[in-house]
Structures are given as structure tokens and as C-alpha cells.
Structure 1
């Protein structure tokens, strides 16, 4: 199996909203560095919208709220990947238009072109991009691992329920340290 590490929605504005874990970015940086050391591609996924939000429908409550707040317009400083985990030149950065990393993006094309059939998921928020991407990737028959402490959510209880109860039904769930030990073998 060929794997990729997905670093999803770890953007300045999102990190600023969900700042409950001061060690999160350094843990995620270790996962990224470990993936690179093991020759596992790191693919970044961001959420961004065109000015005027033409891709946001009024019936989509979460995205409509984002549009009202005028957040995440392409090129705005808040949409940049946080500098502590920033991509290197040549890294693939995918822009999505919905919660799932697959929706409104070319992620599936990039993965298939590289022969990647297994994904390691990290990102903010556990209840948004991670959950949505996990569901869609499962339907697309990808092998899946979720790094439980490589994900973060505004609501710690929702994060706990997802990583301890729901995600294990579809994916392997591991800590960053346990995953790093497994890929170093």
C-alpha cells in the first residue's frame, strides 16, 4: 500500500479559533517530519472560497455562516497554512470548497495519479474536515488511519467521541507517537 499524510485545514484563521492545545502544532510538525523521513508524501488541504462565495448555497448552514462572517476568501491571510507546519516547495496543496477534502477539489485525481491507496488523516476540525473526509475516503475504498492527537476540535467531547467510538469503525486510530514508531520499522 502506498500512503499519504493529509494535513487538512491547518490554516491561520482556523488555528486561531481552535487554540485549546498548545502542543498541537509541534505534534503535527513531528508527524509531518516523520512522514517525510519515511518517504510518505505530505499533502496539504485548505478551504477557501471565491470572492462573493458563489460556491456556498444558502441551505448549507455551516458554509453560509462562514460566508456571513466573510472568512476564508482565496488569498486572504487567514487562509494561509499555519507557518509552523507550512509546506515545502514542491508539496501538493489542494484547495477544497466544502467540508470534505474531496468535495470541490482535485484530491482524488492527485491521489490516484500517485498510486496512493491509503490515507493518514490529521487536521482541524475533527467534527468537520476529518469526519467528512473519513466518510468519503471510506466510500472510495482508501485504507485509513486517523492520528487522534493530530486532529483538533473546538469541542473536546465531540473529538473524544469521534476518535474513540466512531472513527475506529472505519479506520485505524493512533497517536502521532505510535504512528511514528510504526512507520519507522
Structure 2
């Protein structure tokens, strides 16, 4: 495992799992009884960052979680940790769950990284993408804060990417997980900034 980040390269906006599974009323999260209102709010804040990135010509990278139709690539995560996903038929490739929210309005220049684990750095091509774009800084938003966002941020930081998390652009299903996750990331892995600070810098093509 080689780290490509130096913290000195260009910046990219990395948006984690803004997909129907977690942000739509008919997605797996809502069907499992989760209150997705905070995730929907964070998704809108992420779209504000996307608009800023378009103005500042900052690359946008989206991640999505999608598993094989028989869950053969789900491993321990599906067998023991979150078996309710399989029970509900969630997160399968080719189903609405795996689609990014329609408001994402992905452009041809964007990159979409498909993952099977919480972290965007496990078993994906994201490091190839980041090296190709000469990225040294990641500005991160998405859902959920304590799982896929935090897992991705930890892995990015330990690969020497300067990592910045936008507070209002992240959400969890429960505040008792959201705030500790932000605190943990701030303690050793990332700088936490406001939406206003992030959007203002991104519009200028810079990292906050």
C-alpha cells in the first residue's frame, strides 16, 4: 500500500455516498427505520460545494457503495455487522439504492468511485484518480459521518493527503455519532471547516 499524497498538490472535492440508499425515502436506510432528514440536509450542502467547484474548476469525485447482487463481495460487513442490508436487498449494484441522488447532476469531467467497504480507499481506483489529477488536498463531505466519511478521511490522512472536512456537509442518523466522529477526525486526521469557508475558497479554485 503506497501513499501518493504529499499535501502539496491540487485540491479536489470528495463527496461520499450521496446515493439513494442513504438520502432517499425509499432507500435502505429509511426502510430500516433511520431518520434520513439530516442526511438529506447535508446532501443539499454538498451540492452547494459542487456549485462552488464548478466555478472554481475544482475536480469533483463522488463515491457510491454498491455490492454484487448475491452479496459475495460483502464479506464480514454483510454477514455479521450490517446483515439487515442483505435482508432488505439493499446496496445491490443495478438497483436504485446504488444510484447517486438525481440532484448530483454529474458531469463528464467528474469521477465516480464505486466501493464495497466504508472507506473509499479500500479496493478502489481512487488513488489512481488522485495521482492522475495531481491531487494533494481533499475537501470532504457526505454521509454518514461516523462510518463512510470518517473511514475515508482516516485512510486519506494516513496516505498523506491534506484532508479537510466540511462540517455542515456531513451528517449521521444520530447526533450522538455525528459529533464524536467530527471530534475524532479533528483530533488526528483532518481540519474541520464551515460550509461558508469551504465554498468561498473552492469558488476561487483553492482549498480552505
TM-score normalised by L of structure 2: 0.82
State the match for 1:118 in structure 2. 137
Aligned positions, number: 184
State the Cα distance separating 1:63 from its structure 2 match.
Answer: 4.6
- Cα pair 2:22 2:143 within 8 Å, conserved: yes
* Superimposed CA distance per residue, residues 61-95 of structure 1 (whole angstroms, 9 cap, x where no aligned partner): 33543223221111101211001223123321110
The two structures, once aligned, show a CA RMSD in angstroms of: 1.8
1:48-63 matches, cutoff 5 A: 48-58=66-76, 61-63=80-82
- 1:19 has 2:36 as partner: yes
* Superimposed CA distance per residue, residues 113-159 of structure 1 (whole angstroms, 9 cap, x where no aligned partner): 11111111111100111110011111111000001111110011211
1:30-69 matches, cutoff 5 A: 30-58=48-76, 61-69=80-88
Q: Aligned in 2, Cα 1:56/1:171: closer, same or farther, shift over 3 Å? A: same
Match of 1:3 among 11, 16, 22: 11
- Cα pair 1:7 1:123 within 8 Å, conserved: yes
Q: Aligned in 2, Cα 1:157/1:56: closer, same or farther, shift over 3 Å? A: same
- 1:79 has 2:98 as partner: yes
- 1:94 has 2:113 as partner: yes
State the match for 2:172 in structure 1. 153
State the Cα distance separating 1:23 from its structure 2 match.
Answer: 3.6
Q: Aligned in 2, Cα 1:20/1:58: closer, same or farther, shift over 3 Å? A: same
State the Cα distance separating 1:59 from its structure 2 match.
Answer: 6.1
- 1:168 has 2:189 as partner: no
* Superimposed CA distance per residue, residues 144-176 of structure 1 (whole angstroms, 9 cap, x where no aligned partner): 00011111100112111222x211122111121
Query: Equivalent residue of 1:121, what SS?
Result: strand
Q: Which sections of structure 2, spanning at least 5 residues, go unmatched?
A: 1-8, 25-29
TM-score normalised by L of structure 1: 0.91
Partners of 2:121 and 2:180 in 1: how far apart? Answer: 23
Q: Which sections of structure 1, spanning at least 5 residues, go unmatched?
A: none
Q: Aligned in 2, Cα 1:184/1:114: closer, same or farther, shift over 3 Å? A: closer
